[in-house]
Amino acid sequence: MNMNGYSLLSRSFHQSTKPLFNLSSILLKASKRTQLRNELIKQGPKRPTSAYFLFLQDHRSQFAKENPTLRPSEISKIAGEKWQTLKSDIKDKYISQRKELYSEYQKAKKEFDDKLPPKRPAGPFIKYANEVRSKVFAQHPDKSQLELMKVIGDKWQSLDQNTKNKYIQEYKKAIQEYNALFPLN
């Protein structure tokens, strides 16, 4: 976190190198929590396949028996052509099956997401940026997202220390609540 005596959490490069607050240990623990959360997400319910793949699962062996000399990629081409020319009532059967599977997936995903540990709270600058983004966008509708973030960054840099401290204190409180809800060990 230190580049030639400059702490990334200090007020400014040219001002005091005393950090506003010590987050290095919190950030290290938070990254482990994020990795853990991402691993848990990978174990969650998988999206159901498309209507075409449901059709392909039902008919692939039939296409392979009809064309034993063809490679799997060529069989998939034939299946794709059949899918394109399939009657709408048969296609609708697969589409409705897919919709049913997808609604089951959404329910399972919601239940799974509710059991996941909470996301780490947004940092002070992100919280500030979220609050002022709509105002800045209204003032500069012609600018790109990158340019808007630069404007917001400049506004953050020009904020008085008391206002910044308000956001920092909110973040400290939120991170303490987060640590209490989701301890690392």
- CATH fourth-level superfamily of 2-43+118-181: High mobility group box domain (1.10.30.10)
Of 9, 37, 31, 16, nearest to 117 by C-alpha is 37
**Same topology between domain 2-43+118-181 and domain 51-115:** yes
Q: For residue 3, what is the enclosing H or E element?
A: strand 2-3
- Whether this prediction's pTM lies above 0.75 is answered by no
- Summarised one tens digit per residue, pLDDT across range 71-124 is 989 989 999 999 999 898 999 999 999 999 999 999 999 998 888 877 888 999
- Summarised one tens digit per residue, pLDDT across range 16-69 is 444 444 445 544 555 677 777 777 788 889 999 999 999 999 998 898 898 889
Distance CA 71, CA 164 (A): 64
Distance CA 136, CA 149 (A): 9
For 17, which DSSP code?
A: -
What is the residue extent of each domain of the chain?
2-43+118-181, 51-115
CATH match for 51-115 among 3.30.160, 1.10.30, 2.60.40, 2.20.25 = 1.10.30
Report CA 158 to chain centroid distance, whole Å.
30
